[in-house]
Structure 1
Amino acid sequence: MPRRIDNFTSYFHRKKRDLYFVTFTQVKKDPVGFPAVRDCEAIDGRRELLDWLREKLPSTDVGPILPFDSDSGFIAMPYDGSIYVDFTPEDLEKFESRWETPDGKSIDSRWQCYLYTLEEYKEKHGGRIPTPEEYFD
């Protein structure tokens, strides 16, 4: 079913904050390089992580994300199950104490959480966030 999913570009434009995102390591690519996923709900470990986030961090905003920058406003491709998580500092501490080693690696090999800071993103784009008019087709 078609749906709107942010990528890094639209996330930073919409939220204007650091981005924490989780990718699922067992998702394979098809010969063209797209995710070979028919049902993201069936990705091993994804439901477990989402249930934990809902139970332990109920006020934390979680949503789907395509883990790449894009200069296009419309992309048609399979969704690989990746999610963004809008942690507060306290929520991040809870997540890290449950799911990560002290060096930031996941204790569950089925996924990894990454941080892409707003400052890093802006550095790639001349110190600012591009407007939709600049990246929409």
Structure 2
Amino acid sequence: MQYVKFGSRRGKEGEIKLLDIFYNHNIVFAEVKAGVQKVKEKKFFKGTKIMIADGLTTVAVAIAKTDSDSLDKFDIKFNKNEIERINISDWVIAAKVKIYKLKEEDYFPATIGKFYHIKNKDKIKLIDELIEKYSKE
């Protein structure tokens, strides 16, 4: 089982916010340093469990409904406001997801980063517990 983290802010000060796009389109995405080849190397699969952070706070968990691919491979109808905030290209890793928005009492800390694979056993356990809890609601 794979676990990954997606951050929803971009820019030097986190001024570009993407969380609404994630929620509106049931998708997560992040630019991958070193481009197209890294998108292939960082691949994750349908069923991967995901934490979604807004700044340094995890505000949602999700399950990948598709294998990851580059954002340009997904047929998403972004509106003008959304298009101004994102790069739709082959070096942006993305996946369609089922998102579970957390209640504030279930928020937990996240580390800085747009995208990474999670290895921390405590964080993995917490993600599993929250997906279990919210998928029953």
Verify same fold: TM over 0.5: no
Larger relative strand fraction: 2
Q: TM-score, normalised by structure 2?
A: 0.30
- Larger Rg, first or second structure (1 or 2): 1
Q: TM-score, normalised by structure 1?
A: 0.30
Larger relative helix fraction: 1
